[in-house]
Every structure is written in structure tokens, then in C-alpha cells.
Amino acid sequence: MPNDSEVRTAVAPPGSTAVARLRSLGSGRTGPLVGIVVVIAVLATWPLLAANPYMLSAGVIVLNFAVFATAWNLMGGLTGYVSLGHIAFFGLGSYGTGLAVIHLGINSFVAVLLAAIVVGLISLLVGWAALRVRGASFVIVTIAIVLVLLLVFQSWRSVTGGSSGLVVPRPFPDMLRPEHHRVFFYIFLGLLALVLVSYLVVDRSRLGQALKAIREDEDKAQSLGIPTALLKLAAFGISCFLTAIAGGVYALWFGDLDPIFQFDVVLSSQIALMALLGGVRYLFGPLVGAIIVGSALEYFLLNFGETQFHLVATGLLLVAVVLFAPDGVLALGAALIRRLGPSATSIREMSAADVRAQQDERAAARGAGAGGSVTEEPSERASDD
Amino acid sequence: MVSGALLFQSLILGLLLGGLYALLAAGLTLYFGIMRVVMLAHAAFIILSAYLAWWFSSVTGLDPMISLVGSVPLFYGIGYLLHRYLLSRLRPTTMTMMSVLLTFGIALAIEGLLGLVWTGTQRRINLPYGPTSISFLGAQIPVVQIISFGLAALSLGVLYLIMKRTQFGRSLRATIQHGQAAQLVGIDTTKVAGMGFGLGLATAAIGGAALSLQATIYPSLHWHWIGPLMAIIVVGGLGSIPGAAIAALALGTIRVLLEIPMGPTWAQTIFYVALFLTLMLRPQGFFGGRLAQRF
């Protein structure tokens, strides 16, 4: 895996001693990389387990969500700037890819890259305006971007096809549908690996440290000399670039684009929900959230059909997550393991032993001073407490 | 060339629409002032109230305005409970972001419930005076637009009097200006903030009923309202009610005037253009105080 070695060399600074290298191993720097390999390997078994092409296509959708949510987390999780408008860049990436394939006649995957680069540049322009404000205003702006693009893409019929949609030529025209799903499942899986590694690299870099400082306290970060405006823009650009790639590959897979789905604020919020539900501070948080929410959405669609029930469910789940698990299920799981596991009890025993040792020492000192047999008394008093 | 009469008519219609926008944006501004909360569910509650008005008038055959007797107290109560049991439970440090997500979730739930109960079919109230319009200096103004403007103006006037002249209004303004200081002089800020939220949601009830007179309603309509309303409060300056009112009148008028050359869909983009221009030139908004940029 080229990404793997790349990161490992980047992590170990040149000329570091063996001790430092060992310490960097000990502090879990390679752990997440191993984790990524294991997770990708486990997910790669899905096409073998999937009973029918429908399950396979559901897997593709969930993976698409996972890529999208992890890319979102590069901005939302690291800087704390919650964007409800990332679908705008997803949609731009998919339309850009579709239009490039149709009009330029280039290779489909080159078109994805081209579209993603253009969208990345657009996102820098948008981010420059949007990141001038914080918190709630930022969220408003990101929602506004989606709503305005929806208007534009629905009205600009001559280019986008309007509400009747845009048909994107398939990259593998003579492939049967199940085979098509299988190929795209592995493409999305590769994309997921790319996005996870990108997140890890940014997270462990000085950029990531600065972004997290911005998340915790932007004013303090600024006063420490962090160029906050520039770094926020960088994170936004990277996040939007990766999102646009996901959008472009989605366009190639699905083959039919409609503004109402490509610029759907509800889906955009579901992406944010996935990241939050899984836990924005965890590498695999958005992936876990995507699997939970994505499967739930498919389940609702299968069992309740095209009703509004999935909206109610999404809404209530969002409310519940915000109120009861704002750090995500992975944080809840970690807390549970900490409570059940041996580490928590060992800490309590350690401290109790420390107290007893101290008391024994004191009692021994007092006993030595009085020369009597009162050594039992203090420890009894301690157990009463 | 556009005729003068058409221009004049559009100007009047724009001002009337702006009045409705002003009422709807006032509620949003109020929530923001009280808790630094951006209430994305505001537009969903507006649509909910419009549905209640439609349902009331189609079941009883009475004028939809009478539904306000029930919906205003109901929405006031919902607003109070919403603040008391949901929003005030959020951690203060992440309040702004989490409140956006929380209210977004509420908006989705309301949209879904409307769809479940009354289906996604487009609804419109048939009023005996619906199609009539009166002429004013050569402009044809639909009666329903005048009624909803009147309702909006009346409610904004009442809101102004409550804020300026009553004991509750004074407590609410004190809570908005400095919560801790308000507590020190003996104001029960939690209760006052909850009542303020109720007041904001009551304006949504009135705005929704006014909207139901002149618009075709459907569950996902709130997306068409929340964007413009958010743009209005950012342009006006977050937290400033007069700012929101001025921005609403100005943008509402410009929108209707732009409909002549551009058509309704593209005219809608004026709100987003104004939003981005505001962020470029004056991120704190044109009438906002020191608060705006931080949140």
C-alpha cells in the first residue's frame, strides 16, 4: 500500500533516535494505520456476503456516505465549524464530472479529478467569504450555498438539464449491473482508504494541531500566532476537494443527476448527523455513523417506502444525539469500556493502596514516637471513612 | 421598457411582502438575542401554523384567521417548553453549533409529520375574498396581501410595545443584554428567556396564518423560507430587530422588483447575493452590534 509507507516515513522524522522511534510507536502513531488496513479489509468482504445486487448497491451507498462524512469531518470535526452545506460541493463535483465527460470527452476518472480540482478552487472562494464569520452565521452561510445552487441548477436548464436530470455516460458501458456495483464498491473502498489516510495525516500534522486549537478556542489560538483564517481555509479546501471526488465517483456510479438530490439540504444534514453520531473526534467516527444511519435509511426506505417517515426518524435521531450523545457513540463506547474494564478499578485500588501506605507510615511514625501498640487504630478509622 | 404602473404595483407588492418577511424574521432575531441560538425550525413552525389555519378553515368553514385563537397560545407554550426542556440543556460552550443541529432536527421532524398527517399534496385555502383586489392609484393590490401585511404590522407593533413598555419586556431586554447582570437585579432569567422563546414562536404562528392566506402550502415549503429569513437576519445584523425589519422591507421590495426582468426563481437569489455581499463587506451586518460576528 503506497499510502501506508508514505505516512510512516512522514511520521518518523529523519535522524530520530531508536528511542524516539519506539516512543512514537508506543504513542499509537501506527495503530490507526493498522486500524485502517483492518477496517478496509473487513469491509472488502461485503461483496462476498451480499446476498443480491440490491444489498451490494446499498453497500455502495453506505460507503459513499462514509467517504462523504469522513471528508466532512476534516472540517467539521477538526475545526468545529459545522457545515450543513457540504452537499453543495458533492453536487458540484458530480455535475462537474458529468459535464466534463459529456463535453470534453475525457476519461471518466480524469474527469472526476479535474472536477474535484475545480470544485476545490471554488470552495476556496466560497470559504474565503463564509469563514469570515463564526458559529451560527457560518452554518447559515453553508445552508444558503446549497439553497442557491439548487435554484441555479434547476433554472439553468441549457447546461444542467434542470429538473429532468443529466445522464452521465457510464465508464464501463458493457458491464452488467451486479458487476458494475461490485467494481464501484471497491472503487469507493479505495476512496475511503484515501480519505481516512488524509484525515489521519492532517490530524497528526501541525496543521491538525492548529485546527484543533481553533476548535477549542479560536481567540486564544489566534493570540498564539496561528494564522487561523488561512488554516481554516486550507481545511475547508481539502475537505471540499475530497467531498467533490466522492460526488464525482457517485455520478459515474449512479449515472443520473437531479438537482433535487444533488443539492439536498436534508442529505447534507444527514452527513453531519453521521459524523456526530459516530463521534467527530474519532478517525472512524464518521464511518461508524455512516454505517448506522445509512443502513437505517435503507431500512426505512424498504419498509415504509416513499413516506415522510424517514424525515421524522432523522429529525428525532438528530435531536437525541445532540441532547444525549454529543460526543458520539464511539465516545459512549469508550466510556463504557473504561467503566467495565480493569483500568478503572486498578486506578481506584492504586489510590486506596497509596492512602493506606501513607497511613501505615504515619501510624508507624506515631507508634515509634509513643512506643505503644496503637498501630491498628488509624487504619480502622480509615476504613470507617 | 417596463411601464411605470407595473413598477409602482411591484413596489407596493414588494413592501407588503417585506412586511411579512419582517414579522417572520423578528422571531428569529428574538431567539438569537436571547440565547445566541439560530432557530432553523422557525420556518417549519410557520408552515405548521399555515397548515393548522388551512385545516381549521377546511374543517369548520370559518375564516382561517380565527385559528390564531388556538395556535398562538399553543405555539407560545411549545416555545416555552422547547427552551426549558431542550435548548437550555445544551452545554454553554457548544451551544451555538448544537442548537443549530437540534433545531434542524426539529424542523425535519415537523416536515415529516406534516407529510405523514396531511400528505405531500399542495394545499390552498379557498377564501371568498381570495381573488378580489382593490385599486390604489392605478395599482391592483390583492386583498389577502393587504390583510397579511396588516397582520404583520399589527403584530410587530404589539411586539414593540411588549418589549418597550411592559415589565416583562424590560426583563427580557435585560436578559438579552447581559444575562448575569439581569440575574443580579433579581430577574428569573430562565423563566424570562423561556417566555421570550414563546413570544418568538407566537410570531411564527401569526406569520404562518398570514402566509396561508396568500400561498400554496406543502410540507417542504419551509426550505424556501428559512434561507431568505436567515439572509435577512444576517444582513440586518444578528440580534437587531429593527435591522431585521429594515433588511426585510428592502430585500422583499428588491425581490419583487427583480421578478419583472428575471422571473421569480432567479429573483429569489437576491437574498443569497445580499448575504454574500454582506459577509464580504460587513460581516457583522448593517445594523448589528458587537455580538454579530462572534456567533
Q: pLDDT below 70 — which residues of chain A?
A: 1-29, 305-307, 341-352, 368-385
- Nearest by CB to residue B109, choosing from A148, A316, A322, is A316
> How many A/B residue pairs have CB atoms within 8 Å?
150
Grid look-up 454529543 returns A326
Q: Mark yes or no for CB contact B98/A308 under 8 Å.
A: no
Q: Mark yes or no for CB contact A307/B219 under 8 Å.
A: no
Collect all residues of chain A within an 8 Å Cβ-Cβ radius of residue B293: 133-134, 137
Q: Mark yes or no for CB contact B280/A132 under 8 Å.
A: yes
Whole-number pLDDT of residue A29: 64
Name the closest residue on chain B to residue A156, using Cα atoms: B266
Quick one: cell of B172?
A: 427580557
Q: Mark yes or no for CB contact B293/A134 under 8 Å.
A: yes
CA distance B132 to chain A (A): 31
Quick one: cell of B63?
A: 375564516
Whole-number pLDDT of residue A379: 44
Q: Mark yes or no for CB contact A312/B116 under 8 Å.
A: yes
- Nearest by CB to residue B104, choosing from A84, A132, A147, is A84
Whole-number pLDDT of residue A350: 54
Lowest mean pLDDT among A225-234, B205-214, B257-266: B257-266
Collect all residues of chain A within an 8 Å Cβ-Cβ radius of residue B98: 322, 326
Collect all residues of chain A within an 8 Å Cβ-Cβ radius of residue B218: none
pLDDT band with cut points at 50, 70 and 90 for residue B219: confident
For range B224-240, the mean pLDDT: 84
Considering only residues 139 to 168 of chain A, which have any Cβ-Cβ distance to chain B shorter than 8 Å? 139-141, 143-145, 147-148, 151-152, 154-155
Name the closest residue on chain B to residue A326, using Cα atoms: B98
Collect all residues of chain B within an 8 Å Cβ-Cβ radius of residue A310: 112
CA distance B90 to chain A (A): 7
Q: Mark yes or no for CB contact A312/B113 under 8 Å.
A: yes
Q: Which of B278, B279, B282 to mutate to test the interface with A (most CBs of A within 10 A)?
A: B279
Complex ipTM more than 0.95, yes or no: no
pLDDT band with cut points at 50, 70 and 90 for residue B288: low
Whole-number pLDDT of residue A3: 43
- Nearest by CB to residue B116, choosing from A134, A155, A307, is A307
Give the Cβ contact number of residue A207 at 10 Å.
16
For range B97-110, the mean pLDDT: 86
Ordered alpha helix ranges (H), B36-91 = 42-60, 68-81
CA distance A385 to chain B (A): 35
C-alpha neighbours within 13 Å on the C-beta side of residue B64:
29
Q: Which of A137, A233, A316 to mutate to test the interface with B (most CBs of B within 10 A)?
A: A137
Q: Which residues contact B157 (CB under 8 A, 6 or more apart)?
A: none
Residue A326 CA to residue B97 CA, distance in Å, equals 11
pLDDT band with cut points at 50, 70 and 90 for residue B235: confident
What are the angstrom distances between the C-alpha of B194 and each of B191, B222, B277? 5, 24, 34
**b/e code A58-83 from CB counts within 10 Å (16+ = b):** bbbbbbbbbbbbbbbbbbbbbbbbbb
Query: Using an 8 Å Cβ cutoff, are A69 and A87 in contact?
Result: no
Task: State what percent of residues in chain B have pLDDT above 90.
Answer: 13
Name the closest residue on chain A to residue B88, using Cα atoms: A323
To the nearest whole number, what is the mean pLDDT of chain B?
Answer: 84
A64 has a chain B CB within 8 A of its CB: no
Query: Using an 8 Å Cβ cutoff, are B236 and B285 in contact?
Result: yes
Choose among A140, A179, A165, A157: nearest CA to A53: A179
Name the closest residue on chain B to residue A145, using Cα atoms: B272
Residue B76 CA to residue B78 CA, distance in Å, equals 6
Q: Mark yes or no for CB contact A266/B114 under 8 Å.
A: no
Residue A58 CA to residue B283 CA, distance in Å, equals 43
CA distance B129 to chain A (A): 33
CA distance B235 to chain A (A): 11
Quick one: cell of A368?
A: 515509634
Whether residue B89 is predicted with pLDDT greater than 80 in this model: the reply is: yes
Residue A84 CA to residue B97 CA, distance in Å, equals 11
> Which DSSP symbol is given to B133?
E
Whole-number pLDDT of residue B187: 87
- Higher-confidence residue of A368 and B53: namely B53
Q: Mark yes or no for CB contact A151/B265 under 8 Å.
A: yes
**b/e code A39-50 from CB counts within 10 Å (16+ = b):** beeebeebbeeb
Q: Could you tell me where the beta strands, DSSP code E, fall in chain B?
A: 133-136, 139-142
- Cα dihedral sign for A41, A47, A51, A55? positive
Residue B68 CA to residue B57 CA, distance in Å, equals 11
Q: How far out from the chain centre does Cα B177 lie?
A: 22
Collect all residues of chain A within an 8 Å Cβ-Cβ radius of residue B121: none
Whole-number pLDDT of residue B286: 76
Give the Cβ contact number of residue B181 at 10 Å.
12
